[in-house]
Homo-oligomer: A and B are copies of this chain.
């Protein structure tokens, strides 16, 4: 009678809880053994539920991995959405600060659990054609997000007026993914910082002294 403001009964809440637990445990299993090597029974056993129970919450094995991916994408997107919007920026200095904040946020989310990047960027696409498409779509969406920031910069004038925002956005995201994957192989903060610096250097200075 305190926080229970909604008509959601205790049973309903319990159900949502278990649903969430299944998604999380499924992610644990998939990340540990891979999607194909994971049996529904494994997930259920680790949760301590009957494997028939699983099917009360998800249609089938494909359904759960879809939800796992949705969950991961949402987590990443949420971490980005927390950062300022493109319009909040009006100079290159501010843009750099914002980009750094975004980079930090990504570092935090992917650094918090290396399995997120490993599963979302490396394994998911191998599940089946549909999932591969989802992963590519996710990257497209991310590119559009980045393009938004660039577009604003071009309009306000602190970025090259003739910048190809869409293609550049994809390229920048490619660097970010490279950084995330590099962190997977070499999870030392130093090398993460080096990647981050190298990307900034590329973005703002290029690799060569100018003529």
Q: How many copies does the complex hold?
A: 4
Q: Which of A109-147 contact B (CB under 8 A)?
A: 118, 122-129, 132, 135-136, 139-140
Report the bound CA distance from A173 to B199 in whole Å.
Answer: 12
| Inter-chain contact B159/A207, CB cutoff 8 Å | yes
Tell me how far the C-beta of A31 lies from the nearest C-beta in chain B, rounded to whole angstroms: 10
| Inter-chain contact B202/A202, CB cutoff 8 Å | yes
Which B residues are in CB contact (< 8 Å) with A210? 205, 210
Tell me how far the C-beta of A131 lies from the nearest C-beta in chain B, rounded to whole angstroms: 9
| Inter-chain contact B197/A167, CB cutoff 8 Å | yes
A206 on the interface (CB 8 Å rule)?
yes
Which B residues are in CB contact (< 8 Å) with A204? 206-208
Sorting the interface of chain A by its residue count into under 10, 10 to 19, 20 to 34 or 35 or more gives: 35 or more
The chain A residues found within 8 Å of chain B, CB to CB, are: 34-37, 92, 95, 118, 122-129, 132, 135-136, 139-140, 150, 153, 158-160, 163-164, 166-168, 170-179, 181-182, 184-185, 191, 194-195, 197-199, 201-210
**10 A–B contacts from the bound complex (CB under 8 Å):** A122-B125, A122-B132, A122-B136, A125-B125, A125-B126, A136-B181, A159-B208, A170-B178, A174-B179, A203-B208
